[in-house]
Amino acid sequence: MFSLQLLSLALATTILPATLALKLPEYKALKTSLNSSVLTVTFHNADSPVNLWNQDTQDGLTDLVERLQHDKETKVVIFNSDVPRFYVAHLDLSMPSVAEPTFAETFATLIYNVSTLHQVTIGAVEGRARGAGNEFLVALDMRFATKTDTLFGQPEVGTGLFPGGGGSQFLPGLIGRGRAMEYILSSKDITAGDAEKIGWINKAFDTSAEMYTYIDQLTSRLRLFPLTALYGAKKSINRASAPTFKDIVADGISFRKQLADPLAQAAAKKSAALLANRSQFEVELILPDVLPLLYQ
């Protein structure tokens, strides 16, 4: 729908005074940088060579998302990582709050809150994104990646668990039910090139520079358009293709129950023993190859 009246109305409203730009605190495991209405958020867990999603990540994102829920200036949020070879390895299962009865539901609620932000959310991926890292990405509006060293996967089933934050519900909307079954049930990785072919990600690039040029061109358009229109369109697309709050939280509740499964606990013990002799970095690089060893 478009008309000249609408255009002149739009021009008139540009005279309204600008509201205050988003103010963000310093986060421990996230770096942020705001360029007028485009915010870049960088996953940076300084305590983990594989960029685990830890309590600081969880707390930082919770605060950030709450601020974005009340912000009317920011239009685009780009999520990347500055840890070599890892976007986000997965959830840090040793973080104390994982043992709390409400953790899985809280994590699932955060993923839901991310998926329903008014702003356009974009993943810019270099390195491995597995488990919570991939669940977060598939809840975003779009994903772009470099081809060289990027892998996506949901390794939970291989450890006796399953994704607990809606990842198994967002993924079929992107790649179809059969492929979601294949990747989630086998806990195998997919390369960025293959992920592009099946719709897991929007586009894969040879270099980081090419990826950011493409994202810049896209955001230079998005930043012009009214947030109310961007959000209205997002809401409609999500109505057709994204899980509801109830559905996502149901995953969290099932995940919490599965943590108590004796076979999941046996796999966790076996993986601790396996890690005792190897560096976590080395194992996480090739995680899907290591998972079958938990059953020998």
Residue numbers at the binding site for ligand NAG (CB under 6 A): 35, 62, 65, 69, 106, 109-110, 113, 216, 220, 273-274, 276-277
CA distances from 70 to 23, 115, 189, 244, 249 (A): 11, 15, 36, 21, 23
CA atoms within 13 A on the CB side of 267: 21
Closest CB 285 distance from ligand NAG, rounded Å: 18
- Nearest residue (CB) to ligand NAG, 59 versus 182: 59
Tell me the residue type at 209: A
**What is the token pair recorded at 68?**
């974005």
Closest CB 158 distance from ligand NAG, rounded Å: 18
Do 265 and 292 form a contact (C-beta atoms < 8 A)? no
- Nearest residue (CB) to ligand NAG, 192 versus 230: 230
- Nearest residue (CB) to ligand NAG, 68 versus 137: 68
- Nearest residue (CB) to ligand NAG, 8 versus 220: 220
Residue 153, SS3 per DSSP: strand
Closest CB 21 distance from ligand NAG, rounded Å: 13
Residue 144: its H or E element: strand 142-146
Closest CB 217 distance from ligand NAG, rounded Å: 9
Do 38 and 219 form a contact (C-beta atoms < 8 A)? yes
Instruction: Give burial (CB, 10 Å; 0-12/13-18/19+) of 149.
Output: middle
Closest CB 277 distance from ligand NAG, rounded Å: 4
- Nearest residue (CB) to ligand NAG, 7 versus 99: 99
Closest CB 194 distance from ligand NAG, rounded Å: 31
- Nearest residue (CB) to ligand NAG, 13 versus 277: 277
3-state secondary structure 107-136: HHHHHHHHHCCCCEEEEEECCEEECHHHHH
Closest CB 296 distance from ligand NAG, rounded Å: 11
- Nearest residue (CB) to ligand NAG, 68 versus 285: 68
**What is the token pair recorded at 27?**
């986060």
Place of tokens 């668990």: 161
Please provide residue 186's backbone torsions phi and psi, each rounded to the nearest 5 degrees.
Answer: -90, -10
